[in-house]
């Protein structure tokens, strides 16, 4: 299987609702199959859409495990922290055990400079120590996350994998440091491209006119374009767009 399932909605609130339904459905399936659900989140504008999951009842939150596809190497209370943003938008208000929210080790990030390498090594080791009923591996030894909730930049970057960056070609370890991110802050950690592609389902959201042009390019792209990292994502991909985000399709 594989390919794009492109869903267009009128408003951003409907995209948030669709994101919530898709996530809850993926969670129910994973929990019924192996007792846990793994979801990894991007930062940026995706975070606001997570609010669609707030107040949902009948969700087995205690078996959710939440990761970040990329993170800026800053303390959790920094306005740039993806973990901090997700806590405010959703995670602070749902009963997922705190031990199942896999934030970076903020003690390694008191200064952004020099933080990416130790931070990536620590996160990589923590993920690799998880048992396979929580985080299964595929035949290549890569982790198989149930769901990635991804954003993309106007240049087509995903996670902290930027156009033509050498990190795009690095397969190991799972978690990579980047010290020269063109989007600030410069030091971050990111899932590798093979880890992204090993996930069961990848969901992209595109809300607002600003996303329209690149969303159309990514969806229509049929090849391995290292100028557009999002075009390198393969497998089962769900697109959730609002009307302005879909205006160039
Ligand atoms: O931490 C980050 O910077 C993100 O994870 C990043 O990859 C984000 O998803 C895109 O930059 C899109 O961000 P926007 O949706 O805010 O443009």
Give pLDDT tens digits for 82-117.
Answer: 999 999 999 999 999 999 999 999 999 999 999 999
Q: What is the ipTM of this complex?
A: 0.97
pLDDT per residue over 151-161, tens digit each?
999 999 999 99
Give distance in angstroms: CA of 32 to centre of ligand 1: 31
Compute the distance between CA of residue 210 and CA of residue 167 in angstroms, rounded to an integer: 26
Phi, psi of 51 (to 5 degrees): -55, -20
Atom of ligand 1 nearest to the CA of 157: 7
Nearest CA to ligand 1 atom 4: 43
Question: How buried is residue 190: exposed, middle or buried, by Cβ count under 10 Å (0-12/13-18/19+)?
Answer: buried
Compute the distance between CA of residue 44 and CA of residue 67 in angstroms, rounded to an integer: 15
Provide the b/e sequence for 52-89 (b: ≥16 CB within 10 Å).
bbeeeeebebebbbbbbbbbbbbbeebebbbbbbbbeb
Please give all residues whose beta carbon lies within 6 A of any atom in ligand 1, as ranges.
42-46, 70, 72, 82, 151-153, 157-159, 183
Give the pLDDT of residue 92: 97
Give the pLDDT of residue 57: 87
Compute the distance between CA of residue 111 and CA of residue 223 in angstroms, rounded to an integer: 39
* Length of the chain (residues): 249
Give every residue of the chain whose pLDDT is below 70, as ranges: 1
Q: How many CA atoms lie within 13 A of 175 on its CB side?
A: 24
Give the pLDDT of residue 222: 77
> Measured at the alpha carbon of residue 108, what is the angle toward residues 122 and 79, in degrees to the nearest 5?
115
Token code pair at residue 217? 């390019």
Contact 240, 15 (CB under 8 A): yes
Compute the distance between CA of residue 144 and CA of residue 135 in angstroms, rounded to an integer: 6
The percentage of residues in the chain with a pLDDT greater than 70, rounded to a whole number, is 99
Domains in the chain, CATH or no CATH each: 3-53+61-222 (3.40.50.1360)
> Measured at the alpha carbon of residue 47, what is the angle toward residues 170 and 21, in degrees to the nearest 5?
100
Give the pLDDT of residue 226: 85
Give distance in angstroms: CA of 238 to centre of ligand 1: 17
Give distance in angstroms: CA of 103 to centre of ligand 1: 17
Give the pLDDT of residue 3: 82
Compute the distance between CA of residue 173 and CA of residue 159 in angstroms, rounded to an integer: 15
Compute the distance between CA of residue 140 and CA of residue 233 in angstroms, rounded to an integer: 17
Question: How buried is residue 126: exposed, middle or buried, by Cβ count under 10 Å (0-12/13-18/19+)?
Answer: middle
Contact 151, 204 (CB under 8 A): yes
Q: Greatest CA separation found in the chain?
A: 44
């Amino acid at each position: 299987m594989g390919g794009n399932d492109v869903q267009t909605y009128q408003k951003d609130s409907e995209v948030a609702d669709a994101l919530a339904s898709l996530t809850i459905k993926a969670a129910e399936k994973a929990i019924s199959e192996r007792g846990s659900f793994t979801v990894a989140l991007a930062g940026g504008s995706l975070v606001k859409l997570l609010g669609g999951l707030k107040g949902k009842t009948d969700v087995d939150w205690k078996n959710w495990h939440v990761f970040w596809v990329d993170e800026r190497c800053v303390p959790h209370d920094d306005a740039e922290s993806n973990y901090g943003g997700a806590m405010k938008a959703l995670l602070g208000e749902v009963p997922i055990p705190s031990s199942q929210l896999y934030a970076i080790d903020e003690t390694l990030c008191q200064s952004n400079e020099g933080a990416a390498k130790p931070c990536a090594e620590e996160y990589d080791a923590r993920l690799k120590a998880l048992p396979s009923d929580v985080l299964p591996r595929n035949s290549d030894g890569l982790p198989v996350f149930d769901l990635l909730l991804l954003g993309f930049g106007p240049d087509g970057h995903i996670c902290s994998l930027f156009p033509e960056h050498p990190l795009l070609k690095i397969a190991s370890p799972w978690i990579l440091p980047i010290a020269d991110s063109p989007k600030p802050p410069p030091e971050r950690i990111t899932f590798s491209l093979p880890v992204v592609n090993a996930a069961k389902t990848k969901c992209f959201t595109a809300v607002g006119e600003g996303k329209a042009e690149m969303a159309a390019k990514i969806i229509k792209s049929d090849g391995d374009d290292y100028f557009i990292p999002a075009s390198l994502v393969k497998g089962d991909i769900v697109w959730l767009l609002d009307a302005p985000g879909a205006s160039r399709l």
